[in-house]
A and B are shown apart, each in its own frame.
Chain A
Amino acid sequence: MKLFFSIQGGDFTRAGHPSSEVKKVLKQLDIDGKTIKNIVIALYEAEVNVVAHAWRGTVSVEIDENKIIIVVEDEGPGIPDIEQAMQAGFSTASKKVREMGFGAGMGLPNMKKNTDELIIESEVGKGTKVKMINCF
């Protein structure tokens, strides 16, 4: 099964929509509750990263009987130092984003913690591609 969503940079009103849809589908497929929770946390964080930092992005989801592969790809500023970005508490979020309670430097660590595999590729000035795999 494949699902596809687009994300608009800066539009916090729609943040969480793809996560919510994926959650519904996984529930219908009778996937274990703990696994669904992990996937939803990771995808939500990835969505918020695109909204908070990038200009636009897409979410592609592929589900088969053993696993779910989620690819979140954006056109945006990119991440100069991925290792640094992965550190808990490191953030480049704007003041406005922080006032909303986002941008505490917990997003990427949350994604790492809640996925079986997390692969991040980024090019400064072009964008970032995040691939997350969770096994059922």
Chain B
Amino acid sequence: MKVSEIVEKLDLKVYSGRKGLDREISGGYVSDLLSDVMGNAQEGEVWITLQVHQNVMAIASLKDLAAVILVNNLEPHENTVRHSDDENIPVLGTSLSTFEISGKLYQLLNQ
């Protein structure tokens, strides 16, 4: 499934990195601890988090993640947006909580 499909099906907001919307998704990872994501997330996963600063993008890029979803209507910092556009890794947003969006994404990816 492509990032653009989850944007449509989960009604996600696209903050940045639009050029990366055709990235293919391999799965998801949920964590707000950066070292946990660094150590355990896998290439192509969508990362669900409440962290909004630009180190999120450094990690997403180093780990070749497909996209980042910010929960609870949180918005990315300006330099997070810039980094996301440079790396073509979309930063997406939802009004839902981590629990709710994770459940929906899990269901969608395992249909």
A residues whose Cβ falls under 8 Å from a Cβ of B = 12-13, 15-16, 19-20, 23, 37, 40-41, 44-45, 48, 100-102, 104, 106-107, 110, 113-114
The smallest beta-carbon distance between A45 and chain B, in angstroms, is: 6
Q: Is the beta-carbon distance between A16 and B34 smaller than 8 angstroms?
A: no
* B residues adjacent to A (C-beta < 8 A): 32-36, 38-39, 43, 49, 51, 53-55, 58-59, 61-63, 79
Alpha-carbon distance between A40 and B79 when the two chains are bound, in angstroms: 22
Determine if A16 and B58 form an interchain contact, defined as CB atoms under 8 angstroms apart: yes
Q: Nearest-CB distance from B21 to chain A (Å)? A: 22
- Taking a contact as CB atoms under 8 Å apart, the answer to whether A23 and B62 are in contact is yes
Instruction: Pick from B51, B54, B55, B62: contact of A40, CB below 8 A.
Output: B62
Tell me, rounded to whole Å, the shortest Cβ–Cβ distance linking A53 to chain B: 14
Residue in B39, B49, B55 whose CB lies within 8 Å of A41? B39
Cβ–Cβ < 8 Å partners of A40 in chain B: 62-63
- For B51, what are the chain A residues with a Cβ–Cβ distance below 8 Å? 100-101
Contact sample, A vs B, 23 pairs, CB 8 Å cutoff: A12-B54, A13-B54, A13-B79, A16-B58, A16-B59, A16-B62, A20-B58, A20-B61, A23-B62, A41-B38, A41-B39, A44-B59, A45-B38, A48-B34, A48-B35, A100-B34, A102-B34, A104-B33, A104-B35, A104-B36, A106-B36, A107-B35, A113-B39
Give the nearest-CB partner of B56 in chain A. A101
Residue among A16, A19, A37, A106 making CB contact with B35, cutoff 8 Å: A106
- With both beta carbons as reference points, the residue of chain A lying nearest to B57 in the complex is identified as A16
A12 touches B53 (CB 8 A): yes
A110 touches B79 (CB 8 A): no
**Contact between chains at B62 and A20 (CB < 8 Å):** yes
Point out the residues of chain B lying under 8 angstroms from A23, CB to CB: 62
* Distance of A48 Cα from B37 Cα, bound (Å): 14
Would you call B62 and A44 a contact (CB within 8 A)?
A: yes
* Min C-beta distance of B47 to chain A, whole Å: 11
Task: Output the nearest chain B residue to A17 by Cβ-Cβ distance.
Answer: B58
B55 interface neighbour in A100, A110, A113, A114, Cβ under 8 Å: A100
Residue of B nearest to A22 (CB): B62
Task: Give chain A residues whose Cβ lies under 8 Å from the Cβ of B39.
Answer: 41, 106, 110, 113-114
